[in-house]
Amino acid sequence: MYRLPRSLGSTLLAGALLAGGTANAADDPQVRAWAATCAACHGTDGHSVGGMPPIAGEPHDRLYQRLLAFKNGTRPATVMHQHAKGYTDEELERLATYFSRQRP
Amino acid sequence: MTSFNRRDFLKASSAVGALTLAGCATTPRKPIARVVVIGGGFGGATAAKYIRLWAPQIEVVLVERNPAFVSCPLSNLVLGGTKTIEQLTTGYDALGSRYGVKVVRDVAVAVDPDKRQVRLARGDALDYDRLIVSPGIDFLYDQIPGLATEEAQSRVLHAWKAGLQTVALRKQLEAIPDGGVYALHIPKAPYRCPPGPYERAAQVAFYFKQHKPRSKVLVLDSNEDIVSKKGLFTKAWAERYPGIVEYHPNSELIDVDARTLTAKLVGGDVRADVLNVVPPQRAGDIAKQAGLITANDRWCGVDWLTTESLAVKGIHVLGDATLSAPGMPKSGFMANNQAKLAADAVIALITGRPVNPHPIIANTCYSFVSDTDVVHVASVHKYDPEKKTLVAVEGAGGLSSAANELEGRYAQTWARNIWADALQ
């Protein structure tokens, strides 16, 4: 049993309808739990209380490319490069999907 | 900060109930299970909030003895003089009003795992389906005979649980004469917050440099070397506080004379004007009472797939009280991340869905070497099914290249976000 408490009905409907070959990120407790680790700095579900770069509701491709750039060392960072290196590309992609589907 | 809104939830449930949320519209009224959480620190508060966030059909009762949460991270800045304890304090109200956590201000005194019940000092016993114990640390004062009495403990402070002790230590530092000596004793690892003592040395030196430049900070370390961020702290002390910070490794403590403020070390006695002893630690008292301690009479072994105790079924343990997995520091960040792993696993175990076989958690510890400049250490931890524990991912994590102001701003922002993530 899972639930996305903050989602409105329309988001859930859209998510359910969009779910194609891969599981909807919002429906997947595994990626939800992974994403929750990001919240310690970026706020619950990516809703920062201020000062951190926003990630909730950012476009998927922008988030994914940024995470890959951190991982590959092509985007300068203080700490994100060290975190991104801990994840496979697929894990980063699923995290990007999760945050892109949060309300901005 | 958005918040859980019951009306939105009900609307969402009714709109798509047939698709994915069958039955949920009725569950807020009749919980499917009750989880009791002991301890409202970084671990317990986060676990309570996230269970309600992810599974509002589960009732959550949080037992906390203090009226408000006071953050240990950033509390060394109170000693440095650039933060007040009020700025580190967050109430528990939002956990109730936004997430429906039942916050009970009381002290858990005993656990009966057969009856699945927690006994409280004042209120009625609480039944649970699953229990989360996040008690933090308590001190092994029996290893320091000179600190056996409350009077001695009020003269030689630990300030290793933020709050009154932090404020009292700041007052002691304010009363020190220029040319006086502040001595900080560090226990053998593992202890809460590995870089914390070295940050504290920098913060007290920061204060001395401005107001009492002839004073000294003596770091008396039981360990054979600096436990965390060694190069970064050594550089910060040498460049920013030359002639103020003195580091003494292998300074094992035999006893303390609280009257004369003397630390009796294996290498001889050290007298100070302010003596600050961080005593050796173990899992908090309730973990000991509940029989959760499995390692060295100090720490609680858990299954890192679920955080369930290795000693008692149905009880999960979080945070500093746990026997840390390899490479895992006892930090508030780590406790916050462990809490989410636990929340997800507890929901899975209650609702009957499979437990996540591949948890990933992470850590970043920021330390202030001045009022603005910060150094970090970071790590990512993944579950290794062969080793059956969380392991630090090789090639990930690392340190700051040097202390810098940008990370100072990030550290302040991190603090606001993690407090909100746990409590608001």
Give residue A55's region: left, alpha or beta (phi > 0; psi -120 to 50): alpha
Asked if residue B160 has pLDDT above 70, the reply is: yes
Number of domains in chain A: 1
How do B137-139 and B281-283 pair as beta strands? antiparallel
Q: B420 vs A12: CB contact, 8 Å cut-off? A: no
| Percentage of residues of chain A with pLDDT beyond 90 | 69
Is A16 a member of any domain?
A: no
User: Which chain B residue is nearest to residue A41, measuring alpha carbons?
Assistant: B414
pLDDT, residue B9, reads: 38
Q: Which domains are present in chain B?
A: 31-139+282-355 (3.50.50.60), 142-279 (3.50.50.60)
Closest chain A residue to B21, measured at CA:
A3
Question: Minimal Cα distance from A28: which residue of B?
Answer: B356
Among A14-18, A65-69, A100-104, B212-216, name the one with the lowest average pLDDT. Answer: A14-18
A91 within domain boundaries: yes
B174-193 residue pLDDT tens:
999 999 999 999 999 999 99
Residue B364 touches chain A, beta carbons under 8 Å: yes
User: How near does any CA of chain A get to the CA of B142, in Å?
Assistant: 36
Whichever domain contains A57, its CATH number is 1.10.760.10
- Residue B417: is its pLDDT beyond 80? yes
Q: What is the pLDDT of residue A50?
A: 84
Q: Which two tokens stand for residue B363?
A: 């850590």
Which residue from B minimizes the CA distance to A39? B421
Asked whether residue A76 is assigned to any structural domain, the reply reads yes
Q: Which of A3, A37, A42 sits opposite B21 (nearest CB)?
A: A3
What is the predicted pLDDT for the residue at B3? 41
Query: What residues have CB less than 8 Å from B239, skipping those under 6 apart?
Result: none
**Beta-carbon separation of A86 and B382 below 8 A:** yes
- With a CB cutoff of 8 Å and minimum separation 6, the contacts of B275 are B155, B156, B183, B185, B256, B258, B261, B262, B263
> Residue B340 is nearest to which of A16, A33, A85, comparing CB atoms?
A33
Chain A residue closest in CA terms to B382: A86
Tell me if A5 is assigned to some domain. Answer: no
Residues 55-74 of A with CB under 8 A from B: none
Nearest CA in chain B to A29: B344
In tens, the pLDDT along B77-90 reads 999 999 999 999 99
Give contacts of A 14-33 with B, CB under 8 A.
16, 27, 29-30, 32-33
Residue B111: per-residue pLDDT? 98
Sheet holding B308-309, edge to edge: B102-105, B58-64, B33-38, B130-133, B315-317, B308-309, B302-303
Higher pLDDT, A12 or B254: B254
Asked if the structure places residue A3 within a domain, the reply is: no
Facing B24 at nearest CB: one of A3, A32, A47: A3
Give B80: exposed, middle or buried? Use CB within 10 Å, 0-12, 13-18, 19+: buried
pLDDT of the residue at B28? 54
pLDDT level of residue B8 (50, 70, 90 thresholds): very low
Q: Does the residue A63 lie in any domain?
A: yes
Residue A32 lies in a domain: yes
pLDDT digits (tens, 9 = 90+) for B271-301: 999 999 999 999 999 999 999 999 999 999 9
pLDDT of res. B296? 96
In this prediction, residue A19 carries a pLDDT of 35
Return the pLDDT at A54: 81
Chain B, nearest residue to A45 by Cα: B421
Tell me if B413 and A13 make a contact (CB, 8 A cut-off).
Answer: no
Chain-chain contact of B53 with A44 (C-beta, under 8 angstroms): yes
pLDDT at B7: 37
The reply to whether A81 falls in a domain is yes
**Residue B24 pLDDT greater than 70, yes or no:** no
> Dihedral of CA B86/B87/B92/B93: which sign?
positive
CA distance B217 to B205: 6
Pairing of the two strands B181-186 and B68-70: unpaired
Residue B97 to residue B12: CA distance in whole angstroms: 20
Q: Which of A9, A51, A85 sits opposite B416 (nearest CB)?
A: A51
* pLDDT for the residue numbered B27: 42
Specify the amino acid at residue B201: A
Interface of B with A in 180-199 (CB under 8 A): none
More confident residue, B9 or A85: A85
Interface contact flag, A12 B382, Cβ < 8 Å: no
Cis upstream peptide for B190 (omega within 30°): yes
The residues facing A3 across adjacent strands are none
Residue A37: give the domain boundaries: 28-100
DSSP alpha helices (H): ranges in B267-391? 285-289, 332-351
Q: Do A86 and B341 touch (CB under 8 A)?
A: no
Contact at CB, A34 and B333, closer than 8 angstroms: no
Alpha helices in B19-121 (DSSP H): 42-54, 76-80, 93-97
- Whether B356 and A39 lie within 8 Å, measured CB to CB: no
B184, two tokens = 């900080």
Nearest-Cα distance to chain A for B104, in Å, is 24
pLDDT band at B146 (very low <50, low <70, confident <90, very high): very high
**pLDDT tens digit sequence for B61-72:** 999 999 999 999
Per-residue pLDDT of B364-382, as tens digits, reads: 999 999 999 999 999 999 9
When pLDDT is cut at 50, 70 and 90, the band that residue B137 belongs to is: very high
Cβ distance of A86 and B412 shorter than 8 Å: no
Tell whether B16 lies on the interface with A, counting CB pairs under 8 A: yes
The tens digit of pLDDT for each residue in A1-37 reads 344 344 333 333 333 333 333 444 446 999 999 999 9
- Neighboring chain A residues of B56 at a CB cutoff of 8 Å: 3, 5
**Helix B196-211 vs helix B230-240: angle between axes, to the nearest 10 degrees?**
10
Percent of chain A, pLDDT > 70? 74
- Asked which of A45-54, A62-71, B71-80 is least confident by mean pLDDT, the reply is A45-54
